[in-house]
Structure 1
Amino acid sequence: MIQPRECETDAVTTIEIPVVDDDPTHVERMLRAAYATGLREIVLTGALIDSQRRTVERVTRTLTGVTVASESHDRVVVQSMLDASEVSIQQSVRQLQFVALSLHREATAALTGGSRIDDPAERDDQADRLYALVDRYFWRGLSRLDEVDALDLTRPELFTLWSTARELERVADHAERITRLAAAATAEEATAAELQRLAADARSVVEDAVSVALGDTGIDTAKAALETRQRVREDAPALERRLFEASDTDYRLARILDSLTRTAEHGGNIAELGLQSVIREDGLVEGAELSTA
């Protein structure tokens, strides 16, 4: 099937959203959803109250390349100023990995008093902002062939990067959760050390997996990531049993352990995506063996 490029120009680029109630949360949800769909211009109509206008200003500050172009008593126009040619999805994924893993590293260091993050929510917002950008151009790429060309990606590559960004955003969420729990938790030295080891393994899974998804490494690295994920899967239950059997264990440690294992699982998902990309593009190297159990 051949689709002429001219058909792509018919895609909707502007939407008008009537504001029918006074709830600022509704305005935020509609604005974020419209941004994610890839629209160039979002027009909010109706008698917006002050709290809703403040919400629009706050949300636009958290979205890359977006600004309030004009506003009146019954109309606010929000525009995206970025072109796909100015966006690097690969670099956005690299930045998202850096933000997620650095937050995760500092969060687990807080278990032993090694660090304190003043505002983990702000760091998590950075991850959300980067993911939102990748999400936007993923959906634009689905509806416009010229958008994929401008991004210099194939659609399978774009899907892999979008899926990787989605997993990384969840890693950042777990890192924020660990930060808040670690700030109040108390752990014996041996328990803290074991949690630190599992955390390092979980980050190793993510780091190796992303390198495969980005095309920096290949099958051997994917295999290493999946083997490390399996080690976390095997080691975490034993520690969990000890935590529950100890009468004086801080309950927060079990929740931290849960976030660590989930981090490794998100990394494993990325590794599997990267492996699929390698197979799709290059084929399996003869003699390579992988265990994805």
Structure 2
Amino acid sequence: METRKIQQVGGGTYTVSLPKEWATAADIEPGAVVALHSHIDGTLVVQTGIEERNGEPLSLSVADTEPASLEPMLRAAYAAGIDSLELDAPDGVTDETHRRVDRLTRALTGVTVTDSSDDAIQVRSLLDVEEVSITQSVRQLQFAALSAHREATAALTAASAAPAGGDDGTDRIAAMVDHYFQRGLDSLSVMDSLGLTRPELFDRWVTARELARVADHADRMASVADRLDDPVDPDFAADVDDLADRSRDLVEDAVSVVLDAGDGGTGSAAPDDADVATARRCLDERDDLCAVLDDFDRRLFEADGADYRLTHAVDALRGTTEAAGAVAEVGLQSLLRERCSPGSVDVGQTL
């Protein structure tokens, strides 16, 4: 690391010299124009090559592509942060391809078909990054995932109508977080618009992925409920209800640690002992709940007449608990990272 002395020009503008070796390597000459990015974490970035993208979409040929394979390709492009895509088919775009593209764009937030012809389809993401809140998206994802989990538990233990499953609400939100996570990594201006530091954006991205797994576990439980031949034994049902409640409470507590850490990047709230204690408690409860689930699994195995398919539901609850633990670990790491900043309190006080 080099240091430079700040100079003042004409009693107004502050200036700092650039290292000559860096300027030479970057082809910087007197009169060249660079971009300056002041970020919310206090850094000032000097960027060369500031020409804006020409707005032309990424062009992909789908001439020999089966319509069924379009979905993973388009989802991959969206997850990669690509905002504009043109699908070219010189021999003509089939009606089936048009239908599949239309259906997929409706399943992705802010994505629409902006131009469609006999030999090409143009797809764009029109959502303004200024309107995106990653933190709020994670909260919405938590609500959707836990709601699905609650409904699946009720279907399993109360013989209520099993949810249909496969709801794309959680998939839609998780995909949007993926999209803007990648865009934030690629563009400093997008990162500034999101209002998060890179570590905070990463923490929320990991949290979103774990919440998507919670939704997957809810689907597994709903599937078990749909396949059971007889109602669950009342004693076992009561245990499943209790364990499911504990796993969902653990998810909520773990997510709150991540989203409350650092007060969203403003730096206005330092982590206190209670935050760290909550994260550590989540990890302890993760271990305790996994042990209880293991014991319950053994009881099911040894019980006469118990439907073996219930063990798949127990495995889904274990997966939910482990997802909560993974989020709590992210939250604890974030808290300790903040405590390493200048002027923070000694982490040894709570460790």
Q: TM-score, normalised by structure 1?
A: 0.92
Query: How far apart in 1 are the matches of 2:199 and 2:48?
Result: 19
Alignment coverage as a number of residue pairs: 287
2:275 is aligned, of 218, 221, 224, to: 218
Matched with 1:273 is 330
Mapped contact 1:243–1:254 kept (Cα < 8 A): yes
| 1:130-145 superposed matches below 5 A | 130-145=173-188
Question: Which secondary structure state, in structure 1, belongs to the residue aligned with residue 299 of structure 2?
Answer: helix
Cα deviation 1:212-259 (Å, max 9, x = unaligned)? 010167212212211221111111111111212224221210000000
| 1:1-293 superposed matches below 5 A | 2-4=45-47, 7=50, 9=52, 14-46=57-89, 47-113=92-158, 115-122=160-167, 125-185=168-228, 186-215=231-260, 218-283=275-340, 285-289=347-351
Query: How far apart in 1 are the matches of 2:81 and 2:51?
Result: 13
- The structure with the largest alpha-carbon Rg is 2
Q: CA deviation at 1:114?
A: 6.1
Q: CA deviation at 1:179?
A: 1.1
Mapped contact 1:8–1:146 kept (Cα < 8 A): no
CA RMSD after TM alignment: 2.0
Question: Which secondary structure state, in structure 2, belongs to the residue aligned with residue 120 of structure 1?
Answer: coil
Query: How far apart in 1 are the matches of 2:63 and 2:348?
Result: 61
Mapped contact 2:86–2:121 kept (Cα < 8 A): yes
Query: How far apart in 1 are the matches of 2:193 and 2:124?
Result: 19
Cα deviation 1:48-98 (Å, max 9, x = unaligned)? 211111110010001000110011000000011012111000000000000
Question: Which secondary structure state, in structure 1, belongs to the residue aligned with residue 196 of structure 2?
Answer: coil
Q: CA deviation at 1:3?
A: 4.2
Q: CA deviation at 1:36?
A: 1.2
After superposition, the Cα gap between the structure-2 partners of 1:156 and 1:5, relative to the gap in structure 1 and judged at 3 Å, is: farther
The one-letter code of the counterpart of 1:58 is R
After superposition, the Cα gap between the structure-2 partners of 1:142 and 1:244, relative to the gap in structure 1 and judged at 3 Å, is: same
Query: How far apart in 1 are the matches of 2:332 and 2:163?
Result: 37
- For structure 1, which segment, 264-273 or 209-218, has the greater mean C-alpha deviation from structure 2 after superposition? 209-218
Q: TM-score, normalised by structure 2?
A: 0.77
Mapped contact 2:152–2:163 kept (Cα < 8 A): no
Q: Percent identity?
A: 47
Query: How far apart in 2 are the matches of 1:193 and 1:48?
Result: 55
After superposition, the Cα gap between the structure-2 partners of 1:268 and 1:66, relative to the gap in structure 1 and judged at 3 Å, is: same
Question: Which secondary structure state, in structure 2, belongs to the residue aligned with residue 195 of structure 1?
Answer: helix
Q: CA deviation at 1:287?
A: 2.6
The one-letter code of the counterpart of 2:87 is L
Mapped contact 1:11–1:143 kept (Cα < 8 A): no
Cα deviation 1:88-127 (Å, max 9, x = unaligned)? 00000000000001110111122232643543222xx100
Higher helix share: 1
Query: How far apart in 2 are the matches of 1:272 and 1:11?
Result: 41
Mapped contact 2:162–2:226 kept (Cα < 8 A): no
Q: CA deviation at 1:156?
A: 0.4
Query: How far apart in 1 are the matches of 2:158 and 2:62?
Result: 48
Query: How far apart in 1 are the matches of 2:198 and 2:108?
Result: 23
Query: How far apart in 1 are the matches of 2:214 and 2:125?
Result: 27
Mapped contact 2:71–2:104 kept (Cα < 8 A): yes
The one-letter code of the counterpart of 1:228 is E
**Where do 5+ consecutive residues of structure 2 fail to align?**
2-44, 262-273, 341-345
